[in-house]
Structure 1
Amino acid sequence: MQEEKKLYPLPFSEIQDLGYIDSPVEGGWLAGNTISEIMEMYMDRIVGEHVFAYYGRQFPVLVRALDGAERTPLLVCPDDETAEQRFDFLGKAKLWYVRDAKPGAKLYLGFKRDSSTALGMTEGALGMT
């Protein structure tokens, strides 16, 4: 019987499974496997049966390392319904884990004023803030 290998510790890097884009693992003992393949093999250890029943093999979370030393762009993820209608995949849950922050550092949530999606995207693209 093959020895069961532990999933931890995993290096912190970017992974995504958008249905049509499925990140392959580049190193370690899972190298060459895609995120959806890992989900199928280890779903009970990664997300559990309830989440797997809803998302299937598609990894429901986008993991991304951000360097907050500089201002970062606005990050927007559609909900499941919008993502399925427009992109034929499910939305992504977001979790912010701050590994290091200087005293007085801030993380903003939301907008300064009400705006429509189209107006906000246009102003952001043109730098009109």
Structure 2
Amino acid sequence: MAHLPYCSYPGFGETKREEQWYNQAVHVGDYIEIASQGGWDPETSKIPIDLNEEIDQAFAKVDYTLKHAGGNGWSPVYKIILYLTAVGELSVVAVIRNLKMWLPDHRPILTCIAVNQLGLPGCE
């Protein structure tokens, strides 16, 4: 599907596009689909040690990725698939806090999947 408009944000996104042969976002008709966005810093690739900060950064990165792809950030998001290695009270509270902050006007559907490991070492 080379005819679809793909994009990757500067720093981590462009590096992964070259090193691992994938993009961060693609326009499919009126929709924007994005790759998984972990809690790494988009410029330095550093992952916060604190789980709250990592989850906050992951939500901020979704917003950044959508806007970089020409979208309106979180406001039109209707579906979230969330992968976590650390499913517990701390992560649930952090996710709910971010959902309320980034999506104050609606409640999207959400699927949370517990996994043993994520693609980038150090991500939870």
TM-score, length of structure 2 as denominator length: 0.29
Higher relative contact order (CA 8 A, sep 6+): 2
Please say which structure displays the higher CA radius of gyration.
1
TM-score, length of structure 1 as denominator length: 0.28
Richer in strand (by share): 2
